[in-house]
Chains A and B, each alone.
Chain A
């Protein structure tokens, strides 16, 4: 009896790097960028609190570095010929333009690579993952909780629409009333003004977001972030996209598990979702070379 063995395919698994070489990848680069920007914002907040408003030296508030403030002030800036809603400055408008240009060329990569609030949620989610890894009982409890919560998974797609509502409310409200109606509910504003010790709805939203980050990755970005909503919509016209090669992909779902935005990467051919934040966690996690790649193509017609 002869046995006929199947032709052996060349190895299709990425070589696993060890030691410091394992750190030389785009994810380390991304984390360093996020850390640097979060550090800059922390420095700005501390300097503003320490030096204070009454000093002769002008210290910028961290709110001056929020792109969404630019979006809220845009209507007033245009209609009044250059004035801003309170707490916003020219820097907010410039940062808004930078975010929109980035979105237009590289989707919502601002959210995945720069946004400090996204970074904080990432840190908490990673800490949660570390705890689950170290404590089997916690892992089991979380798995059980996830199994129960999976019954509510159908709500996910509807809840994701919430951020577009928040976007409309914040922009129209600022246009009509001339003040940032969203500011009192904004977790980012609550965080950078935490030294004021004022109990606002934004502080509650921040608390909910941080606690939810233990269970769901990037909950604020998925469901409520108005800047992410605006960026995602504009990103639809971006030439950048992710491509999954069906021939190379073994549908191991590692990419879907790695996606912090909960996108079903393993079932898509091209990933052009408005929710994609361009973090490339999926690309980094994919064990097969060439199965998942960043591509450049003409929007709408050239992205197949």
Chain B
């Protein structure tokens, strides 16, 4: 059967856009992770830290997890005047990352209280610049939760210093491997290492050896 070229073109458009519009009419369409299929904004869920995305704001996160913003800012050494409307991926620095925030919230949720840090109700009054000494003091002062044990003892890109401590690696050993004082527990090891312009692979290997010794 012969088909006119113009009819062929119209047929192609009909199939392609017909399929797309058909899915859209059925509600199967989303062009952004920020809205769901019905067009409503996607918000973080307190049940799943993986639902926290980099584009979400501090305000959305603290609201979902019912924690004071000041506590979060102090814990990660963020400036006290950080606007709550800031997307969290724009705040990433040496001490703060989206992965680190997820880990901290997970630990905090599993411990069932907000006592993972002594500075729960502290109100930041000035811009805090974390120093190695301050970080060390904070690490020593912070009671480390012992209930939380990661399911597998494998050092990877998401492992935090808190994970290492939970797995029983001594503080001195960690400090000797990373060549500095222990940063806040919620910090991701890889973020810390890359922030210092160091290679992650050899440090990861050395840490894994120490983790394996504790088994």
Contact = CB atoms under 8 A, between A and B. Distances in A.
Interface of A: 25-26, 29-30, 33, 53-54, 58-61, 64-65, 84, 89-91, 94-95, 97-99, 101-102, 105-106, 109-110, 113-114, 240, 278, 280, 283-284, 293-297
Contacts of B33: 84, 89
B190 to A, nearest CB: 16
Interface of B: 1-6, 8-9, 11-13, 15-17, 19-20, 23-24, 28-35, 37, 41, 55, 87, 90
Closest 6 CB pairs of A and B: A60-B31, A26-B5, A98-B19, A64-B31, A90-B30, A109-B12
Interface of A is mostly: helix
15 contacts: A30-B9, A33-B9, A58-B32, A61-B31, A89-B30, A89-B33, A91-B31, A94-B24, A98-B15, A106-B11, A106-B12, A106-B15, A110-B16, A114-B12, A293-B2
Given A53-B87, A60-B32, A295-B1, A101 B19 contact: yes
A102 B15 contact: yes
Contact of A54 (B1, B41, B90): B90
Nearest to A107: B12
Given A54-B87, A59-B32, 10 more contacts: A64-B32, A89-B31, A98-B19, A101-B19, A110-B16, A113-B12, A113-B13, A114-B16, A293-B2, A294-B8
Contacts of A94: 19-20, 23-24, 28-29
B2 A294 contact: yes
Given A29-B9, A94-B23, A101 B1 contact: no
A101 B23 CA distance: 13
A90 B23 CA distance: 10
A94 B27 CA distance: 11
Contacts of A284: 5
A105 B18 CA distance: 13
A7 B59 CA distance: 88
Given A58-B35, A97-B23, A295 B28 contact: no
A26 B15 CA distance: 17
A153 B6 CA distance: 33
